[in-house]
Structures are given as C-alpha cells and as structure tokens.
Amino acid sequence: MKKGFLIALCCLLVAQLTGCSIFGGDTQNLMRPPKATGAKAGVQQDIEKTVGSSVTYKYPQNGEYRSAVIMHDITGDGEDEAIAFYATPSTVQNTTTGITMLVMDQNGATGEWEVIGRFQNPEKSTGLAVDRVCFGDMDGDGKQEIVVGWNASYDNSANVFSIYSFAEGAETLGEEQVQDTYAELVMADITADGKSDLLAISVSSTITVTPETEEDVPVTQTVPASARLWQMEEETRELVSTGTVDLNPDTTRYLSVIFGGIDREQVGVVLDSTQQSNTLFTQLVYWDKNQECLVAYDNISQRSMSTVSMDMDGDGLIEIPVVSPMQGYRGQREASGACMITQWCNFDIELQELEPKRSMIINAADGYWFDISNSWINDVTARMESDKRSLTFYVYEEDLFGVGSQGDELLTIQLFSKREWGENGVEGFELLQEKGDTVYAAKVGRADLKWSITMNEVRKNFQLVS
Ligand SMILES: [Ca+2]
Ligand SMILES: [Ca+2]
Ligand SMILES: [Ca+2]
C-alpha cells in the first residue's frame, strides 16, 4: 500500500464525514507563516530592508507551491532564485494592484539578492490573493518559465494567469498576461513532446447578452465548461492557444484535477467534478497526437460518494473509482444498510472501457476499508448495521424469480469499545486492530465454501484510516 494513497484516502474519508470539500476552504486562514530559514530568511530580510518590515506575505492558496517565498531555479544555472509575494500597508487597501511579486537572483560574488523582476497582480483582479504558482519549460530552452494564477473572482471560478520568462539574452523577466480565465490550471507536458504545456480549465457559467434594441429583452446563455491548451511559440515566445474542447456543461466545481497516465499509451488529465445535484463525475481530457486536437470523455464514472481519482498504487496510471451497490441493493442506493463497492479502474482509451484493478468496501463512518476479491463481487453481499457498528458479508443467493436473499455468513467486522472488549475479548471475534478506545475485530464464518475467507486474509485486506 502506497503512503500517498493512504493519505489521499484519509483526506477523502474525512471529507465524506464532514461533508466539506477536500480542496475547498480558505487555506490562507489555516496556514501560519512558517519561520523562514536559510536563503528564504535572507530574501525576506532584503525585502523588508527595501519595503519596510510591515509587509504582509501572500501565500499561494492552491497548487504545489504554498510558501510566500518560493525557491526555484528559473535561470537554469543550478542555483535557486527566489520568488516572493507580498502586500504593503499602502497597497493592502487598494484591491486592484495589491500584491507585488518579486523575483530575485543571488549574486554569486556578493551573496546579495538582486531583483530580476517586479510585478503587480493584474489590474482586472478583484481578489487579493495568489491562487497558484507553476513552473515548466514551455519553450524547451532548458529554463523554466513561471506561471502565476491570480485570484480574480470570489469563488475562484474565473482566475487570470500570467507567464513570466526571459526574452532572448535578457537579464530581467518579462510578463505576458494571458487572455483567458480558469478555475483549474494544469502545467504538464500534455502533448508529450518534451515541453510543458498549460491546460486552463473552466466551469460552466451563464452570461447575459445585452439586446441590440431597447425592445428586446436580455437573454442569458450558458457557456459550457471547457479546457483550453496553451503552448509557447518558440520564435515569438508568446503563449498560443492550440486547442480547446468543451466539457460537461453541468460542471459547476472541480473537486480534484490530476495529470498522469490514462493508459499505457496516453497521458492526460482526469477531472472529478460536481454537478448541481451533488453527484461526482469523472471526465478525461487528453491530446490526440494523430488528430492534433484535445479530446474529452464525459461521465466516465458517476457516484454519490466523494471518492476522487488518484494513482493509488504508484504505477503512473490514474485509477478512477466506480462506486456501485452490492448484490441485492441494486436500485435502492439509499436503503438502510445498503453497501457500496468501490472499484478502482484504469481507462482503456481504445476500448473506451474502464478496467477494474482493485475493489474495496469503504466504511467511512467507522474509518476503515476492506479489500474484496473478484470472486466476491457477484456472489457476495453485505449488510452494514450502524447501531452495532458492524459489517457482515453473506453469500448472495437468488431464486428463479431473481429475488435475492442472504445465504451463509462469511465474515463480520465489528467495532467494540475497550470496555466491551474487556480482558478476554468478545466470543467468536478476533482482534484486528485497536485505535484509541475502539477495538476493531472480526469473526469468520464457514470455512468450506468457495468464498470462505481466513483470518489471515482478513487481516491482509483490512486497513484502518489513520
Ligand atoms: Ca524555458
Ligand atoms: Ca508539450
Ligand atoms: Ca495507478
């Protein structure tokens, strides 16, 4: 089990419990400025020397880089440059030009930090925040460009972005404000040609079209969510939009957006988004090399659980969760005690099919998951009893008329308090794990059926959410 997967799954389980988003919320309020050390401290001292010690550092709210001073090699000399975001008291009130971005290079001889770029957040910005910072070599010259996404809307649905790079022979950075907005921004080699690309992803929105004459009434139009590819023109070094594709028009919010292998032959972006109805659905976007265009697949998986796609086993391929009711619960998702199977699947582009890789029952309320074998998927069902905090697996039997019933009991996983468990445990149950005051225990049923499971297998398949 890969650690990253554990952490990600923990996050999503917490999200399910609290009903809030994994990636939402105002991280700015949650983060305390870390005490800068080493080079970062030097950079902060230099900034404060120039603009005063009352600067307010600005932390990117999303993406990989979350500190107010980011150390990254953008000149390609093997030494890190510094990128700092801050507001000063005089600009804090002014929401149109509030944030300064300072890029500094350390002089090898003197050790002093010298400014090689100073920029303000774009004027049209109505927000006072840095959304995210991305790096990537977009023209293939061996130097990484900086792309900064600037918060420009209250719900982060229409942010703006700029690219900062060195023109041929230039010692200082130039800025290009890109004429596009995004809800999500991905910097990755989408086209698989060795150069980084940008994918700006929007949510659906409605616009009001002003009538041409006074007699006409204004009309509202839906602009569907879309993904737009931006690449850097090698000659002019300008960003050019080289492809766009519409996404599901019901997309109102992205819960998770990741880049990685779709299948063995193709990289792409997997988007888990929500519709108005609170259903989570998965879409795919990738670059078709032969057709030279962006391709999108809609509604690959739809589910009511907020489980998001991830590379759960670290093999570079993204697994997409497919959540379906176990045998006997079809068509009655909301039935009390209904049990859902989560199947993690890879998408086969040629066949346009999801191929299951691993299946599990996720018990978010009790904080664990349990892997199940393929032989159980069609022939076994389960009952979750929340008052007893138990999950029991049975052989699923169906009569001639297709009416299902519970057959032999195969396994019960149950939670007990330390007091209930006592010195000698509970009859029939064996201890799996303990956490705080809770004892996780299991009882196996008949051993002579083809679906029978041993206590060793139970231990192997059971995993607590830390
Ligand atoms: Ca470059
Ligand atoms: Ca590329
Ligand atoms: Ca994988």
Task: Output the pLDDT for position 102.
Answer: 93
Q: Name 377's Cβ contacts closer than 8 Å, sequence gap at least 6.
A: 341, 359
**Low-confidence residues of the chain, pLDDT below 70?**
1-37, 90-97, 123-127, 276-277, 331-338
Closest listed residue to residue 72, CA positions, set 175, 145, 166, 172: 145
Query: pTM for the complete prediction?
Result: 0.84
Residue type, 83: I
- Residue 47 CA to ligand 2 centre (angstroms): 35
Residue type, 181: T
HEC string of 272-309 equals EEECCCCCEEEEEEEEECCCCEEEEEEEEEEECCCCCC
Buried b (16+ CB within 10 A) or exposed e, 231-266: bbeeeebebeebbbbebbebbbbbbbbbbbbbbeeb
Residue type, 122: P
Task: Output the pLDDT for position 30.
Answer: 34
Residue 170: how many CA atoms within 13 Å on its side-chain side? 13
Q: Considering every ligand atom shown, identify the ligand nearest to the alpha carbon of residue 195 and give its number.
A: 2
Q: Considering every ligand atom shown, identify the ligand nearest to the alpha carbon of residue 231 and give its number.
A: 2
- Residue 230 CA to ligand 2 centre (angstroms): 9
Q: What are the backbone angles phi and psi of residue 358, rounded to the nearest 5°?
A: -155, 140
HEC string of 403-466 equals CEEEEEEEEEEEEEEHHHHCCCCCCCCEEEEEECCEEEEEEECCCCCCCCCCHHHHHHHEEECC
- Residue 346 CA to ligand 3 centre (angstroms): 8
- Residue 226 CA to ligand 1 centre (angstroms): 26
Q: Considering every ligand atom shown, identify the ligand nearest to the alpha carbon of residue 347 and give its number.
A: 3
Q: Considering every ligand atom shown, identify the ligand nearest to the alpha carbon of residue 197 and give its number.
A: 2
Q: Considering every ligand atom shown, identify the ligand nearest to the alpha carbon of residue 358 and give its number.
A: 3
- Residue 270 CA to ligand 3 centre (angstroms): 13
Task: Output the pLDDT for position 15.
Answer: 38
- Residue 319 CA to ligand 3 centre (angstroms): 5
- Residue 186 CA to ligand 3 centre (angstroms): 19
State pLDDT tens for residues 325-360. Answer: 899 887 655 555 568 999 999 999 999 999 999 999
Closest listed residue to residue 197, CA positions, set 224, 178, 216, 218: 178
- Residue 315 CA to ligand 3 centre (angstroms): 5
Closest listed residue to residue 62, CA positions, set 32, 26, 95: 26
Buried b (16+ CB within 10 A) or exposed e, 296-320: bbeebbebebbbbbbbbeeeebbbb
- Residue 260 CA to ligand 3 centre (angstroms): 9
Task: Output the pLDDT for position 138.
Answer: 96
- Residue 454 CA to ligand 3 centre (angstroms): 28
